[in-house]
Amino acid sequence: MDKKLNQGAGEILKRVREKRPLLHHITNFVVMNDTANVTLHVGALPVMAHAREEMKEMTGIANALVLNIGTLSKEWIESMFIAGRKANSMRIPIILDPVGAGATKLRSSTSLELLSKLEIAVLRGNHGEIGAVAGAGGKVKGVESVEGIKDPVKVAQSLAKKYKTVVVITGKRDIVSSGKETYFVDNGDQWLSTNTGTGCMSTTMVAAFCAVEKNYAFASSAALACYGYAAEIAAKNAKGPASFKIALLDTLYNMSPSQLAKGAKIYAA
């Protein structure tokens, strides 16, 4: 655990709250409410919009773009590309969440197409999803990872190099790699896995932090530390998954930069 890194995490959180970046989400129906709330609670501003007619304009006022393929359809893929190209032209970060990659060809091929044709700042998935995108094994059942990949750190590093992106694999220990830099984040709690959408929420956290910090690998690590540490605190009084989620959202809102600097568990590899 590196004190400077943890301090840095707190400083990025502070910046999110000062700048209130706008996060344009094209995301799935299941998590829209939760991810909009996470956006607000961490200090950023959310907008959920998918109509082709307003994509350029909406992304045009945003500070980061989230592309989440959880409840995909052809029309939405089109909108993702319009928004993505606009984001690239503005040099704002795109965070891609390949929900369920590996479960169907549509999800796997859409993930790869978005990665190939757009400059993706951060790719965030669970072991199964990243394994599927990398062709490295792992297994998803629906949208849940049910089998890990063999050497996740190497997979993250080589996938990051291949697509010039930052790869984030969330799990018991989160792995973040730009290909050059690699970080581990040991915050988190197993209650997270009992709720739907907790992966998608972590993607939103990454977007908020990357909107105000250009070192996307470190910004992602800081975001995951903030989210995971909030989960640790929330777990203390949880009676079940639903009361845990309420506490998680409350805690995110109440998390101070100095508190985060103390509780973060970020390591440079």
Positions that interact with a second copy (CB under 8 A): 20, 22, 24, 28-34, 36-37, 39-41, 45-51, 53-54, 57-58, 61-62, 70-74, 100, 103-107, 141-144, 146, 194-197, 239-243, 245-254
Cα–Cα distance measured from residue 80 to residue 66, given in angstroms and rounded to the nearest whole number: 9
Q: Between β-strands 64-68 and 45-48, what pairing exists: parallel, antiparallel or unpaired? A: unpaired
Nearer to a second copy, 138 or 179 (CB): 138
Nearer to a second copy, 50 or 265 (CB): 50
Nearer to a second copy, 180 or 239 (CB): 239
3 class by beta-carbon count within 10 Å (0-12 exposed, 13-18 middle, 19+ buried): exposed
Nearer to a second copy, 36 or 168 (CB): 36
Nearer to a second copy, 118 or 248 (CB): 248
In the complex, what is the shortest distance from the CB of residue 161 to a second copy, in angstroms, rounded to a whole number? 30
In the complex, what is the shortest distance from the CB of residue 38 to a second copy, in angstroms, rounded to a whole number? 9
116 class by beta-carbon count within 10 Å (0-12 exposed, 13-18 middle, 19+ buried): exposed
φ, ψ for residue 66, nearest 5 deg = -105, 125
In the complex, what is the shortest distance from the CB of residue 102 to a second copy, in angstroms, rounded to a whole number? 10
Q: Specify which residues 139 forms β-bridges with.
A: 147
In the complex, what is the shortest distance from the CB of residue 2 to a second copy, in angstroms, rounded to a whole number? 29
Cα–Cα distance measured from residue 162 to residue 134, given in angstroms and rounded to the nearest whole number: 10
Tokens of 190: 């197993």
φ, ψ for residue 159, nearest 5 deg = -65, -40
Nearest-CA neighbor of 224 among 2, 48, 216? Answer: 216
In the complex, what is the shortest distance from the CB of residue 54 to a second copy, in angstroms, rounded to a whole number? 4
DSSP 104: B
In the complex, what is the shortest distance from the CB of residue 12 to a second copy, in angstroms, rounded to a whole number? 20
In the complex, what is the shortest distance from the CB of residue 56 to a second copy, in angstroms, rounded to a whole number? 9
Residue 76: partners with Cβ closer than 8 Å, 6 or more residues away: 26, 50
Counting other chains too, the contacts that 212-215 makes at CB distance below 8 Å and 24 or more residues apart are 212/12, 212/15, 212/16, 212/19, 212/21, 212/63, 213/12, 213/15
Nearer to a second copy, 74 or 91 (CB): 74
Nearer to a second copy, 62 or 120 (CB): 62
